[in-house]
Structure 1
Amino acid sequence: MEINEFEQNEKLARAKKQVKELKGFYIHLFVYILVNLFIMSLTVMARMNSGESFNEAFFNFGTFSTPFFWGIGLAFHGARVYHFNPFFSKDWEERQIRKFVEQEQKEADKFR
């Protein structure tokens, strides 16, 4: 009975941690949108006041540089929260573990 209660507490702790991470990501996303809209608006207005047309001011790398680079960080944050890792997935980890165990077994068999 005590083991089952321990497992339930572990599951609850993991769920709370996941919700906290998800909430952090949503806050990050909300701040990203608000701040970048503000920065882009200021950038476009400043460029238009200096004589550029709206298209020249808006379609400029400087207007999108902050959202672009911050967006890369936001994408990594989202990937971590949603457990997306295309390079080192659980399958990859299991294959590597099996490979090393088999390799050690072969080396141990050589000395028998």
Structure 2
Amino acid sequence: MEKDLTQEQKYILAKKRVEKISKFYKHLATYVIVNSFLSAIFIVGDMNDGDTFMEAFSNYHNYKIWFFWGIGIAFQALNTFGLSLFMNKDWEQKKIQKYMDEQNYRR
């Protein structure tokens, strides 16, 4: 059973949703800026230890923080946008149509 919401309630819910999305994008921007800065520091540190630029740049240890913080970003994205970000009804309809077309093509 769906409740009828007043305009004020709808406004409050919409405002909270927008704030949540805004918070996610701010976190994403912080993620990119901070990790870029840290990776640059790690690369310069490796170069000071005698590595060439390409050795330091390709050292995966300099990017581990991207991965681990990225897991947190992924969970926040799922919390903010839900699974519908990836598998919404439109996606389902496209997949159904694709498989139907494949079946017709095989005949």
Same fold (TM over 0.5): yes
Instruction: Name the Cα RMSD after superposition.
Output: 2.0
TM-score, normalized by length of structure 1?
0.68
% identical equivalent positions? 37
Deviation digits for residues 40-90 of structure 1 (CA, Å, limit 9, x no counterpart): 00000010111101121111121110011101100110111112279xxxx
Give the unaligned 5+ runs of structure 1: 87-112
TM-score (norm 2): 0.70
* Shift >2 Å, 4+ stretches: none
User: CA–CA distance in 2 between the matches of 1:44 and 1:60?
Assistant: 8
Give the aligned partner of residue 22 of structure 1. 21
Instruction: Indicate the structure (1 or 2) with the bigger Cα radius of gyration.
Output: 1
Matches of 2:82 and 2:9, distance apart in 1: 19
Structure 2 counterpart of 1:70: 69
1:48 aligns with 2:39: no
User: Within 5 A, what are the aligned runs for 1:76-87?
Assistant: 76-84=75-83
Gaps of 5+ in 2: 86-107
